[in-house]
Amino acid sequence: YIFGFGSLITHPGFDYSERVQPCYIRGWRRVFHQGSTDHRGVPEAPGRTVTLERCEGAVTWGAAFRLAGDAEQRRRTWEYLEWREKQYDLRLKVPVYTAATGARQPRLVALTFVATADRAANPNFLGPAPLEEVARQIATARGPSGPNSEYLFRLADAMRGMGVQDEELFVL
């Protein structure tokens, strides 16, 4: 399984045999700290995309995908994900929960992509900034995958569609 908390929710881009949503991970919060110079921005004007930040008591809602196909198709899917998520320098296995399983028992374990603050491994990490600055960057950045604002709005719409309240996301 792959756990998506950003654009993988709205545009997986690969074949999957099962989609589990809404689902969540614990101990992490979604933050717009990752610079995007290849999808939602350019090197001269990076966009902002989400990553995960450790935060005790937090939950991050998203979707989990079971990769489809035989071993060769899953290998090709993994290569695609490695290319797509290349600016995310850490791969983590995380327990994934659903409302049905509750917080006591994970429904599954998934791999997720995290962009860390390690500038040697992740030179596009932007880190925290005042809300107004983050909003300005998102409103003005545009890259090969389209406007950064489209990324934000699609993610917010997906959360609303799942019935998830994510005030940090919605305030942007």
The residue annotated as part of the active site, out of 85, 132, 150, 168, is 85
- Residues 132, 140: Cα–Cα separation, whole Å: 12
Residue 18 is a catalytic residue: no
Reference 84, options 163, 7, 27; nearest CA is 7
- Residues 129, 74: Cα–Cα separation, whole Å: 38
On whether the CB atoms of residues 29 and 61 are closer than 8 A, the answer is no
- Residues 23, 124: Cα–Cα separation, whole Å: 28
Reference 111, options 60, 64, 152; nearest CA is 64
Catalytic machinery residues: 85
